[in-house]
Each structure stands twice: as structure tokens, then as C-alpha cells.
Amino acid sequence: MAGFEPGSLPDLLPLYYRRLFPYGPYGRWLSYGGVVKNYFQRREFSFTLRDDIYVRYQSFNSPQELEKEMQKMNPYKIDVGAVYSHRPSQRNTVHMGAFQAQEKELVFDIDMTDYDDVRRCCSSAEICSKCWTLMTIAIRVIDRALVEDFGVKHRLWVYSGRRGVHCWVCDDSVRKWSCAMRTAAVEYLTLVKGGSETVKKVNLTDPIHPFISHSLSLVEPYFEDYALVGQDILGSSESWEKVVALVPEYILRLLLREFPKKHDSVQRWELLKKKMEKCKPSHAESEIMLQYCFPRLDINVSRGVNHLLKSPFSVHPKTGRVSVPIDLRKLDQFDPLEEDGEKENETEPEPKRRTRDYRKTSLAPYVRVFEQFVEEMDKSRKGELLKKSDLQGDF
Amino acid sequence: MEFSREKRLKARLAGDRRGDLYPHSLQFYLQPPTENISLAEFENFAIDRLKLLKVVENLGVSYVKGSDEYKSRLEREIRKLKFPFRALVEDDYDARRKDHISHFILRLAYCQSEDLRRWFIQQEMDLFRYRFNELNGDLVEKFLKYVNLSYGAISKEVKEKLAVQLLNSTPGLSGAKVEELEFYKVPLQDAMDLFRVRRVYLLNAFAYVPQTDIVAIVLNNFRTKLSKALALTARSLPAVQSDERLQPLLNHLSHSYVGPDYTIQKNIGKISLEHIDALSVKSFPLCMRQLHKALRDNHHLRHGGRMQYGLFLKGIGLTLEQALQFWKSEFIKGKVDADKFDKGYAYSIRHNYGKEGKRTDYTPFSCMKIILSNPPSPGDYHGCPFRHSDPELLKQKLQSYKIPPTGITQILELVKGMHYQLACQKYFQLTQDVDDIGFSLNHPNQYFAESQKLLSGGREVKKEPSEPESSQQKLSSQKSTNSCSIPISSNTEADTELEGLDAYFTED
């Protein structure tokens, strides 16, 4: 997708917002069935307009009003914030202190930049097919924990448009979580700790908590292809020295001696594993896998109830790529670079009918994932209502 | 027949109602008491609970919480102060009622600032934890049900299925223990403190908590509720404070000292002025030693120092005549001439002895008062050196007084943990050369009296043979930001008012 011109945004965005943005399911999502009064109306949106003009505390009386505004303003970026105690656009009419953020989805932001110390192919905002595996692993690990440990039923994974992924957890109870609960959840999910000053970022002690052992079993199948072949982490002395710094002292010296005699990363890893077998209390082998592959979350994104995060289906102004939902059933096949940018969509022929254009474009499969997600929530809500009315004896 | 049935019903209700009100020896204090009580009972209950909480604080710093030593001492205090400790309500009703009412009274006094709230919550939590851990057998489940924290224990079959996961997620447990202990299925939100550090097994939005950790969950709940309640109480405080009977009482509670007031000088006239210098080294607490030295060096003390030191001297037995002579002799060596002294300073000394103005016989300041009120400014020498001195300067001073280095380190550790009175106790031990101070230090005059007792051989110096050294005093370097951090009262007017009230609160 090299060759996207940010300068073309003013021309492409109006087309995108007129023909492609899936307003229908989007509005249904954020209305959450209309169960809670004025839930959509009290939601904060923020728009980033051209020339970096940033407008916060936008709120709308209906999804249709949101649609009109988006088509009028053609924002470069749209963020979704919290549901407040009052309509954000009217916050100035409320007593100071009374205007409070009340609910929001639990969100996660996993950014490839946070892995720069352990990936060799790219750095900073660049991504390639080799290091994208890190995102695949991250999604697998976090998603399993969300579903199996936290009992989450409704979550949406989204490609951020540039260098990472976001997760939106939408269960009713989770949207009400306090700041403390969100922080606790991130802490539970964190294994890689320490900044540039820390060499060994993962430290495991017995007993190994099921969260860790489950996560390891998800990382392991990817490790050889990703780390040993793709990243070639034991390919040269410069890189294997970093790995070997994570094993116990006496093994370290032995490996430094033996590694040059081996031919490639795969062989060297085998050697390391064999030597580690004899140091049973140490978990260095697992620690290495985790330090090189385990998800790294940005706690600041998840912690605040009022934190704003880029909306699904928002365009990334620097890449022209749309923030699309990821189909978990086809996770391993997802390729962010294949993902259609604005440019392609714009060249689709203008159909006769304006409505539901997105179904005919390359955006369609992503919209389908999103629609399924919204439908699941609708179904689940109906089920809850039925259960409640059964209990109350309503007929 | 209706008639007699009614009578029987009524009789049963009257008896049962007491049990319904306090079915358990501990509670979450969710409902405030609604009966009428006398002001006397109001004060007595409040003071007793305050005494209890202070013991809780003290024991928590001196002993490992939950150790046998800690538990036996705390139980002793609870019995002494007539708080609940029995399982059956019939025997315990009055104690439970007292527990209930006194808690709510103290809320009024301790909701007023962040520091006060933190202190109160910390002690109430420690007390609650002790009492919860004393519940045996099915009383735990009954209590949990009563406070709507009825977590169900998982069945044997489920436990067997999850045995490996439970073993691996709960640190400190062996396979045998997992089999033996009950595991409770707790909703995610209630187990936050446990799952954030992965100390518990999570499955499908539930945490599987062993009964040994259930107390953490209950405490979490208790703290959340109490914290919210204190915030609410603070908002209704103006209404309470407008009641003139209560305002001074409540104000005083959060600053109060509850012990002998040293107004009754048993040793009056027994101190001679020639001995004061020697006494200041041998038997004065550090604060008074510091004031005395400053007076000797500068031939002057400012008002705060004159009050604190002057009243202390009164407490140790200096007569009014001696006091006048003492202060005058120093002041005229300085810049004050005899005339000026007689006109100004003498008047306030007589005032302190109750011979002028209101004729209130002022009481010497307690440690709490010295620590909390009227902090010293540059040029002042009053206050508590452990609280108000820069630690480096304190260290130098202690070195100059030939305190051994290990002792100094221990003192500084206590100071860092904000345990000022404990630091002074340590100072007592080191200067009086005893292993166990033998009392809980609350008042400078108490320090003096105890030191004099030792020197005159009126007290057993050696430690009790039954208590081994190691368990005696646990000098914890644990970060206890709550125990002694009580805010400074900035209201000096109220202070003079309080002087009279001190008598109100003393023990017989």
C-alpha cells in the first residue's frame, strides 16, 4: 500500500462517508438495543478534522444525526469515548462535578512499537508479514483469557489501521467496570514488565498460574516459524547474545561456546532446550518465548472510563487504511497490508442505488463480521429479556 | 383466646428483637442506631472505642497481626473495654449494642479529613479482620449470608475436576490443603485484589477463592462500604456540628488523649530547682529535654515552648513559686528585665496555675496534643522532636546524647513509619537502660513518672522471663502510612477551650 497520499484524503473521505461507512450496524451497536435511556445520546464522540482541528464532546440525538454530521464534516479520524451522565454537547449546562463518565466498553490497544526491542524486521510504525504474527499471537492469548477467564461474551477485534490492533469488550456488565477493575484486568493480563533498563522482562516462579500455562500453549505453535525462522533470533551472535542473557549464568556461558558450532536458530534453540531440561527450577525457556512473543498492553488506554479510542471503521489518516474488524475464525489469514485502502474503494464504479454500497465493495467481508457481532448482541439481549419476563411471569 | 395469643406473641417478639438486632458478634455497620441515649453514655462509648482502636494500632505495630501474642493482647483489651467477643447473642447483647453505637459516633469525628478517614478505616479493618478470623466453623458462612456475601462453596466433584488449576493458581497451598479447604465461587468484581496479582483461579467470570482468602474479599467489601459511608457522613456533618452539645465532644475525640491528666500533683514540692538540669538528662522525655536546653542556652522561650514546658514542670511537681523563680532567673539573664517579667510573663505563669482569669487549672499536654497541634516554626523549640525535627538533626542530637548507633537506627525507622510515640518509647528504653518499657507512652509526664519510678527502684527492671526477646517488640519497617498520620489542628483557640475539656475525658 505504498503510495497512499494523505493529500488525497479530502477527496476520498466524502466518498467513504457517503458510500461505504456502515451506518446501520454502527448505530445499532452503540444504541445497545435502546434498553438504557438516552444511552446513544450521552455518548461522547470526537472528530479530528483537517489541519489537526480536534473537536471533543460531540454527541448526537440519533445515529441518523451522527451520519449527517459525519457526511458534513468528513472527519479525518473519529474517536469513541464514554457514555456520560449528561449529553456531552450540553455539559456546560450542568453543575461542575455532576458531569461524569459513567460507562464505556473495556478496550485494549496493542501496538507493534511496544515490541521494538524484540523484533528485528521492522521498527516503530512499520509492519510486515513477519512481525504481524505478534498481533496474531496477542489476539489469541488475550481473547482466550477474556472469554475463558473473564467470561466475556461480546468482543470485537479491530485492525487499528496502521501498526496494531484494538479490542472492544462490550458486555453490559463490563461496560460498567470501574477504573480499578480495568486496571486489575490489565495487571492480570500482563507478563512482560520493565522498560529499556530491564534486560529480563519475564520472571516465572512456581506454581505456574493456569493463565500463564494456557498462554504458553498458545504461543508455542507459533514460536518456531515466527521467532526462529522469521525473526531468526538465534541467527547471529549479536542477536543470540540478547536471548542468552535471559538464561541462568552457567548455561549462558555454555551456550555462548556451543552456539557457533550450530547452523541455524532452530538447531540452537534445540540445544538451549536440552540444556534447560537439566535446570528444572528455572523457566528460562518459557521466559524467552514470552519475552519475545507475549502481548504487551498499554495500560493507559484500558484504564480510564473516559478514554477515547479510534472508532472501528474510522480511516487512518496516515495510511488510508480503514480500521476493520478482524474475523477470528480466519485470524491466521488476516493480512493488514492486503487490507483495502481508501484508494481501491474509491475506484469502484458508482452503483445505481446509493444505499448499502458497502455490501458490494471489498469492505463487505469486514462489515459482515461487524454485523454478526452486533446481531449476536441483539440475540443475547432478547434472550435476557425473555428470561427476565419469564421470571416475572409476564405473558 | 385471641387475647392470650396476642400476649404470647408480644412476649416472644420482645425477647427475639434483641437477637434480631445483633445476630452476630461483628457487623458491617450498615444501619445507624436509632435509639435515644444519654450524653454520658454517648461519651463513654466513644472513648472506649477510641481506646480500643488505639490499642489495635499499637498492637499492629508491635506484633505481627494475627500472631498469638497479638490475638491474646487484643482479646484482653476487648474484654476489658466490654466489646463483643462471645458467639451467642444472649451473653453479648450489651457489648454488641455498644460496638454498634460507638462505631457510628466515631464516624462523626473521623469523617472530617482524608487523614482521619484513612486512620479510622485502617483500625476498623484491623479490628474487623481479627474478629472475623475468630469466627469458627459455620459461623463464617452464616455471617457471609447475613451480609449478602453468600458465596457458595464448590462441591467436591467440581473441586476434584479443578484440582490441578486450583493448586497452581493459589500460592502456598499443597495438594492436601486443596482437598481440605473449602473453595468459594466469587464473582469477578469482588475478588479484584486477588485476581489482579493472579493469586486465584479464574473461570468464566468467577474466582475460586479458598476460605483462607475469603477474609480478603470480605475486608475489601467492608472497606468499600465504610469509605463510602464516611464520605456521606462528611456531607451531613454541618447539621451535626450545629448541635452545641456534640460539637466540642466530637472535635475533641479526634484529638483526644485518654489517660491521667497529671493535674493532681502527687509529688508537689518534691522537685528542687537545683536538680532540674540533672533531671532533664535523666528523666525528661526528649521534647522537654530539648526545651530545657533551649531555655538554658537562649535564656528565653517563645509562647509555644513556655506552655508546653511550663505545664510539664507543673505536672512533675513544681510549685507556682518555684516556677516563677525558675523562669525569672533564666529570662533576666536574657533580654528581659525583672520589671517586664513581673508584668508580663509572670502573669501567664500564674494563669497556667489557675490563679488568674478563668482560674482553670491547665493540664500538661499529652503526646497526642504535642504531636498534632501547634507545629513549631523556626525559632521554636516545642513540639515532638520525633515528629517535628528533621531526621538528620534528630540523628545528630541522639548521637550527641550518646545513644548507641543501633538504637538510633531503630528510632529513625520508627520515625520514618510515623510511629512517634514508639520512637520515644525506644528512646526511653535506651536512656533508662531497660529491655521493655513496660507501659504504653502517651504523656510526657508519664515518661517522667515512670523514669523516676525506675530510678528509685520502684519497678522491676528486668523483663518477664516468660516472654522471649524476639516476640516482644516487632520493630516493623512496614510502611504504615495510616497509623499515626493524624492531621494538625490549626485551631489554637479551640486548644485553650480544650484544656478544660481534658478533664472531661480522663479516666477515674
Active site residue A172: no
Q: Is A109 a catalytic site residue?
A: yes
Contacts of B188 in chain A (CB under 8 A): 150-151
Q: What is the pLDDT of residue A175?
A: 97
pLDDT at B464 over 60: no
Give pLDDT, residue A342.
55
Stated pTM of the model:
0.65
Of B169, B196, B203, the CB nearest to A209: B169
Q: State mean pLDDT over A51-59.
A: 93
Per-residue pLDDT reduced to its tens digit, B398-407: 999 999 999 9
The pLDDT of residue B137 is 67
The H or E element spanning position B123 is helix B114-134
Q: Is B174 on the interface with A (CB under 8 A)?
A: no
Interface check for B165 against chain A (CB to CB < 8 A): the answer is yes
The least confident of A277-291, B6-20, B471-485 is B471-485
| Distance of alpha carbon B397 from alpha carbon B390, whole angstroms | 11
CB < 8 Å to B167, chain A = 207
Cβ separation A207–B167 shorter than 8 A = yes
Using CB atoms within 10 Å of the CB of residue A316, give its burial: 0 to 12 exposed, 13 to 18 middle, 19+ buried: buried
- What contacts B34, CB < 8 A, 6 or more positions away? none
Q: What share of chain B is helix, strand, coil (3-state, %, to 5)?
A: 60, 5, 35
Rounded to whole angstroms, the Cα distance separating B288 from B354 reads 22
Give me the pLDDT at residue B476, please.
Answer: 31
- Cβ-defined contact of B169 to A151 (cutoff 8 Å): no
Whether A44 is catalytic is yes
Q: pLDDT value at position A10?
A: 87
Residue B376 has pLDDT above 60, yes or no: yes
B456: its cell numbers: 528509685
Predicted confidence band of residue B89 (pLDDT cuts 50, 70, 90): low
User: Which of B167, B196, B202 lies closest to A149 in CB terms?
Assistant: B202
Q: Could B197 and A208 be called an inter-chain contact, meaning their C-beta atoms sit closer than 8 Å?
A: no
Q: What percent of chain B has pLDDT over 70?
A: 81
Q: Which is higher by pLDDT, A305 or B336?
A: A305
More confident residue, B320 or A67: A67
Distance from the B115 Cα atom to the nearest Cα atom in chain A, whole angstroms: 21
Question: Residues B49-64: pLDDT tens digits?
Answer: 998 998 888 787 777 8
Report pLDDT for A158: 97
Q: Which of A79, A109, A143, A171 is catalytic?
A: A109
What is the mean pLDDT of the segment spanning A153-172? 96
Amino acid at A9: L
- The counts of H helices and E strands in chain B are 25, 4
Q: Mean pLDDT, chain A, as a whole number?
A: 90
Evaluate if residue B428 carries a pLDDT over 90: yes
pLDDT at residue B507 above 70?
no
Q: Omega before B285 cis (within 30°)? A: no
Lowest-pLDDT choice from B31-45, B86-100, B217-231: B86-100
Least confident range of A222-236, A302-316, A351-365, B325-339: A351-365
| Range A22-43 average pLDDT | 96
Are B171 and A207 within 8 A, CB to CB?
yes
Do residue A184 and residue B165 have CB atoms under 8 angstroms apart? no
pLDDT band at B466 (very low <50, low <70, confident <90, very high): very low
> Which of A148, A184, A213 shows the shortest C-beta gap to B203?
A148
Q: B202–A188: do the CB atoms touch at under 8 Å?
A: yes
* Amino acid at residue number B305: G
Residue of B nearest to A148 (CA): B204
- Give kind and range of the element (H or E) at residue A54: strand A53-58
Segment B184-189 shows an average pLDDT of 91
Report CB contact under 8 Å: B169, A180: no
Q: Which residues of A touch B201 (CB under 8 A)?
A: 210
Q: How far is A363 from chain B (nearest CA, A)?
A: 34
- Helices B286-298, B444-455: axis angle to 10 degrees equals 100
Comparing A20-29, A185-194, B253-262, B390-399, which segment has the lowest mean pLDDT? B253-262
**B237 vs B299: which has the higher pLDDT:** B299
Cβ–Cβ of A211/B165 closer than 8 Å? no
Of residues A337 and B316, the one with the higher pLDDT is: B316
> Which chain B residues are Cβ-neighbours of A151 within 8 angstroms?
188, 204-206
The 3-state DSSP composition of chain A as helix, strand, coil percent (nearest 5) reads 50, 10, 40
Q: What is the pLDDT of residues B115-140, one digit of tens each?
A: 778 889 989 999 999 998 888 767 88
CA distance B198 to chain A (A): 6
A99 and chain B in contact, CB less than 8 A: no
Size of interface A-B (CB pairs under 8 A): 45
Chain A (202-241) residues lying within 8 Å, Cβ to Cβ, of chain B: 207-213
pLDDT for B463 beyond 50: no
Q: A67, A105, A111, A171: which is the annotated catalytic residue?
A: A111
| Residues A242-268 pLDDT 10s | 999 999 888 888 899 999 999 999 999
CB distance B205–A181 less than 8 Å?
no
Q: What distance in Å separates residue B182's CA from the closest CA in chain A?
A: 20
Nearest by CB to B168, which of A152, A183, A210?
A210
Q: Helix A23-31 to helix A364-392 angle, to the nearest 10 degrees? A: 30
Nearest CA in chain B to A149: B203
Grid cell in block for residue B247 = 460539637
Q: Of B92-106, B329-343, B401-415, where does mean pLDDT reach its minimum?
A: B329-343
Q: Which residue of A has its CA nearest to B193?
A: A184
- Band the pLDDT of A362: cuts 50, 70, 90: confident
Q: In this prediction, what percent of chain B has a pLDDT beyond 90?
A: 30
Rg of chain B in Å (alpha carbons): 27
- Mean pLDDT value across residues B353-361: 74
Task: Determine the pLDDT at residue A22.
Answer: 95
DSSP B380-417: ---S-HHHHS-HHHHHHHHHHTT--HHHHHHHHHHHHT
Question: Which of B170, B174, B192, B194 is the best substitution to test chain A (most A C-beta atoms within 10 A)?
Answer: B192
Residue, of B85 and B350, whose pLDDT is higher: B350
